[in-house]
Amino acid sequence: MPTKQVVTDACSAINLMATERAIDFLRTLDWTLLVLPEVKQEAQRLRGPLDEEGQPTWLPTDWNPLEQAGLVTPQPSALLGDAFVEALVEAAAHLTDVDAAAVALAGTLGLPLLSDDGKVRKVFRMLYPALELHATLGLIRQASHHLGLDPATVRSLLRALRWKARFAPPKTDPDREWYLSHLTD
């Protein structure tokens, strides 16, 4: 059973699922993701292959493998109480409701947050400076290293991340150059 619980927001959930290696990565890092129903609802599709007219198709995200592997724990916000509601109101002054809920969940439970959204990261740091903040590229880089993935495999999964999740690393992401170097190899 994974030992580190990490709250994820919708953008990072989509990004992680786009790699098609979420189970491997979470197991390697010994993480389990706490996910609000609202986050799952928002993270429901990935970009698929182009159709005959050159337009992207859309594929539903499948949470079942992660749930069956015990790597995703649904967290209904209704069970969290007054501290969560207060944290939600504070975060919602700066963010959308779904993003605010993820920030509030991590803050209320004192857990790390996985987010690639610049505004979410800024608000989380402002409200909870003592808590850990993770990004998808850092997760991928660390897990890929532990798994011993070869450069071609890393390149392939980073390309899937870019295409399926429409991912572009923020300029401030410390792993941006690592990402770009793998795409241009």
Instruction: Give the C-alpha separation, 78 to 114, whole Å.
Output: 21
145 belongs to a structural domain: no
Q: Where residue 49 sits, what CATH number does that domain have? A: 3.40.50.1010
Q: CB of 23 within 8 A of CB of 143?
A: no
181 belongs to a structural domain: no
Q: What is the pLDDT of residue 75?
A: 80
Q: How many domains does the structure of the chain reveal?
A: 1
Q: What is the pLDDT along the chain (185 residues), one digit of tens a residue?
A: 557 999 999 999 999 999 999 999 999 999 999 999 999 999 999 999 999 999 989 999 999 999 999 999 888 766 678 999 999 999 999 999 999 999 999 999 999 999 999 999 999 999 999 999 999 999 999 999 999 999 999 999 999 999 999 999 988 899 999 999 998 86
179 belongs to a structural domain: no
Q: What is the pLDDT of residue 178?
A: 95
Helix residue spans in the chain (DSSP H)? 10-18, 22-29, 37-42, 64-68, 82-92, 97-109, 118-127, 136-147, 151-164, 176-184
Q: CB of 77 within 8 A of CB of 105?
A: yes
What pTM was estimated for this model as a whole? 0.93
